[in-house]
């Protein structure tokens, strides 16, 4: 997905938020905004939003001298999700269709996000998810695809959300799938890294890899130009690819293979691109 | 009210919106954003938001070569409100407390706004306004103040909204008040000018003046440094001042006289400053 002019105010809003997470010094907040605006004057809109976001957050980290402005926010999300995990697990186990419930909850977990302007309440969403049937053909296609699948490449999005992913990974393991769970190699916004995967003990049930290993800075969304060799190989040969979140969608929406995108739509431009509404839960395969 | 760093992304978002209203040429939209960002890197945050907004919209008009990018939007708002006016008038006339209903509707009319990020639905608001009693002490103070009042200086905000103001002006006229209705001298966002006041025939029931006559560019909110002599005189000597909308609040919140502010809160910073919530209807006197 290309970057649009509408992304500019969003990048700036996010820069201010990240700067405030990194320091209380208002002079630094102001400097961050000024340098980010200077940078945004010369960007190329043919790059995808995750690529530009990477550049913006590089500036933020440099000026605030913080390697990981979202560290505390990520820890809070993880703790909150961990606490909720036994309840969510029970919801899946007691459901008539545990796989469907796990898919729904994995998508709902994507509301835990600091990388977008629109925020939704995860508890509200969990309550709603049980009542509604969200998917047109998406879930049917997903189940059908699973029948011929041994290897699943599962792209994580955010910390906290990873506990919701764990529910779905557990269901996939019951069907004897082999899961490779892809996290970012470096901190970027609140995206999950290997540290988060270990905190959720996903490394004990799946192979965890860094999708962009070898790169010094991660993009908040998988972009093949920045991917590791290992990832590219798995991306090519895995039977199924599951991609969580907007960032990964923005980076992979135009690739030349089937990908099952699971996300909560938070931005009107993604909504238009994916043919959904802001706030809606999406399970869609793009070919 | 001072400008905050949070206003920066908001100014940029609004610039894009205004540029799109003025032209379909995406190259021009991009140029507007770039020049606005360049300008915003050197602003002083001790100026109020309307002063900075004036500068931003000057850039937009210059680059798009459009004297009034919101012209069509204003005409649409006016037409829509004119159509609704007989129904609203009936609501006031049939109410147990016509003055209260007119005040409520005058405030609801303030949702018609293109100068803010948060948008609300005016029809929804009209329905809700009848059911709820919004004001703590505001309306009581307003009524009490009216008892000792002959002259009312009424600061308009947006086109469309002016028809809602007309309801309140009519009620005030029933109490033999003399109304001076203040509009902007030049087009700025969707703020009402003399043309709009004439379209709503407010010039037939009140004295209409341009608050910033003599200035080449208007601020989207009254700022005393930019006010006309006539306005400053009336502002000093009128028995009561009624100020509609966020822009006028931002410009006048720190002045040294009683002002009855009537507005729908659309921005979290104004919400904090005025001690209300985003989306709430405010009638508040600041001393």
- Which string of DSSP letters, residue by residue, matches A46-90? TS-HHHHHHHHHHHHHHHHT-S-TTHHHHHHHHHHHHHHHHHHHH
Fold of A87-286: Rossmann fold (3.40.50)
Q: What is the mean pLDDT of chain B?
A: 92
Nearest to A23 by CA among A77, A78, A76, A72: A72
Q: How confident is the model over B212-241, as a mean pLDDT?
A: 93
- Residue B130 pLDDT > 90, yes or no? no
The pLDDT assigned to A120 comes to 64
> What angle do helix axes A71-93 and A122-131 make, rounded to 10 degrees?
20
Measured between beta carbons, which residues in chain A are less than 8 angstroms from residue B13? 6, 9
Are residues B192 and B186 in contact, defined by beta-carbon separation less than 8 angstroms? no
Query: How many Cβ pairs within 8 Å bridge chains A and B?
Result: 45
Are residues A164 and A191 in contact, defined by beta-carbon separation less than 8 angstroms? no
CA angle (B257 as vertex; B217, B248 as ends), nearest 5: 35
The pLDDT assigned to A287 comes to 62
Cβ-count burial of B45 within 10 angstroms (0-12 exposed, 13-18 middle, 19+ buried)?
Answer: middle
Nearest to B164 by CA among B94, B251, B83: B83
In this prediction, residue B280 has a pLDDT band, given cuts at 50, 70 and 90, of confident
- Cα R_g (chain A), whole angstroms: 18
- Which string of DSSP letters, residue by residue, matches A114-146? SSSS----HHHHHHHHHH----SSHHHHHHHHH
Q: How confident is the model over B225-229, as a mean pLDDT?
A: 94
Chain B nearest-CA distance from A247, in A, is: 21
The pLDDT assigned to A123 comes to 75
Measured between beta carbons, which residues in chain A are less than 8 angstroms from residue B26? 5
Q: Which of A205-209, B1-5, B172-176 has the lowest mean pLDDT?
A: B1-5
Please name the helix (run of DSSP H) or strand (run of DSSP E) that holds residue A154, with its range, or none: strand A151-155
Residue of B5, B29, B38 with shortest CB distance to A29: B5
- What are the structure tokens assigned to B37, written together? 């960002």
- What are the structure tokens assigned to A142, written together? 């997903």
ipTM: 0.87
Closest residue of B to A7, CA-based?
A: B13
Chain A nearest-CA distance from B16, in A, is: 8
- Residue B260 pLDDT > 60, yes or no? yes
The pLDDT assigned to A214 comes to 75
The pLDDT assigned to A135 comes to 59
Q: How confident is the model over B209-227, as a mean pLDDT?
A: 91
**Which of A41, A43, A44, A117 is the best substitution to test chain B (most B C-beta atoms within 10 A)?**
A41
Closest residue of A to B29, CA-based?
A: A5
C-alpha dist (Å) from residue B144 to A257, B125, B178, B240: 71, 26, 17, 11
Q: How confident is the model over B185-197, as a mean pLDDT?
A: 97
Kindly state the greatest CA–CA separation across chain A: 57
The distance of Cα B153 from the centroid of its chain, to the nearest Å, equals: 14
Say whether B41 and A40 touch across the interface (CB within 8 A). no
Say whether A16 and B38 touch across the interface (CB within 8 A). no
Q: Which segments within chain B are labelled E, that is strand? A: 151-155, 178-183, 207-210, 240-244, 259-264, 281-286
Higher pLDDT, B119 or B236: B236
Measured between beta carbons, which residues in chain B are less than 8 angstroms from residue A40? 37
What is the spatial distance between Cα A54 and Cα B16, in angstroms, rounded to a whole number?
A: 23
CB atoms within 10 A of CB B277: 11
In this prediction, residue B114 has a pLDDT band, given cuts at 50, 70 and 90, of low
Report pLDDT digits (tens) over B23-64.
Answer: 999 999 999 999 999 999 998 888 999 999 999 999 999 999
Is A43 an interface residue toward B (CB < 8 Å)? no
* pTM (two decimals): 0.90
Q: Residue with structure tokens 């557990």?
A: A170
The pLDDT assigned to B120 comes to 64
What is the spatial distance between Cα B102 and Cα B95, in angstroms, rounded to a whole number?
A: 9
Chain B nearest-CA distance from A172, in A, is: 42
Closest residue of A to B5, CA-based?
A: A30
Residue of A30, A40, A45 with shortest CB distance to B5: A30
CATH number of B71-286: 3.40.50.10880
pLDDT in tens, chain A (287 residues): 999 999 999 999 999 999 999 999 999 999 999 999 999 999 888 899 999 999 999 999 999 999 999 999 999 999 999 999 999 999 999 999 999 999 999 999 998 776 565 566 777 777 777 676 665 678 999 999 999 999 999 999 999 999 999 999 999 999 999 999 999 999 999 999 999 999 999 999 999 999 998 778 899 999 999 999 999 999 999 999 999 999 999 999 999 999 999 999 999 999 999 998 888 889 999 86
Chain B nearest-CA distance from A79, in A, is: 28
Nearest to A250 by CA among A261, A240, A235: A261
Say whether B13 and A16 touch across the interface (CB within 8 A). no
Secondary structure, 3-state, B213-228: CCCCCCCCCCCHHHCC
The pLDDT assigned to B117 comes to 56
Q: Which of A97-101, B125-129, B145-149 has the lowest mean pLDDT?
A: B125-129
In this prediction, residue B133 has a pLDDT band, given cuts at 50, 70 and 90, of low
Residue of B5, B16, B38 with shortest CB distance to A16: B5
In this prediction, residue B99 has a pLDDT band, given cuts at 50, 70 and 90, of very high
The pLDDT assigned to A117 comes to 56
CA angle (A89 as vertex; A83, A95 as ends), nearest 5: 145
The pLDDT assigned to B119 comes to 60
In this prediction, residue B15 has a pLDDT band, given cuts at 50, 70 and 90, of very high
The pLDDT assigned to B29 comes to 97
């Amino acid at each position: 997905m290309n970057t649009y002019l509408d992304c500019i105010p969003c990048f700036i809003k996010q820069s201010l938020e990240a700067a405030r997470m990194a320091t209380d010094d208002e002079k630094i907040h102001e400097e961050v905004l000024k340098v980010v605006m200077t940078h945004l004057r010369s960007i190329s809109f043919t790059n995808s939003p995750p690529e530009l976001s990477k550049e913006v957050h590089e500036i933020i980290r440099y000026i605030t001298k913080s390697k990981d402005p979202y560290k505390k926010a990520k820890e809070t999300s993880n703790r909150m999700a961990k606490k909720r995990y036994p309840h969510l697990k029970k919801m899946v186990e007691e459901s008539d269709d545990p796989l469907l419930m796990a898919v729904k909850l994995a998508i709902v977990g994507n509301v835990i996000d600091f990388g977008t302007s629109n925020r939704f309440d995860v508890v509200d969403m969990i309550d709603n998810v049980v009542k509604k049937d969200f998917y047109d053909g998406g879930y049917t296609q997903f189940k059908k695809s699973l029948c011929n699948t041994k290897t699943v490449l599962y792209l994580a999005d955010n910390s906290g959300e990873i506990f919701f992913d764990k529910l779905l990974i557990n269901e996939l393991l019951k069907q004897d799938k082999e899961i490779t769970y892809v996290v970012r190699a470096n901190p970027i916004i609140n995206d999950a890294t290997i540290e988060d995967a270990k905190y959720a003990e996903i490394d004990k049930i799946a192979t965890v890899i860094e999708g962009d290993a070898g790169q010094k800075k991660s993009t908040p969304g998988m972009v093949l130009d920045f991917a590791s060799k290992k990832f590219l190989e798995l991306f090519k040969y895995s039977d199924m690819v599951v991609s969580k979140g907007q960032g990964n969608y923005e980076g992979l929406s135009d690739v030349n293979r089937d990908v099952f995108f699971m996300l909560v739509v938070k931005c009107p431009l993604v909504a238009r691109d994916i043919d959904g509404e802001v706030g809606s839960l999406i399970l869609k395969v793009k070919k």
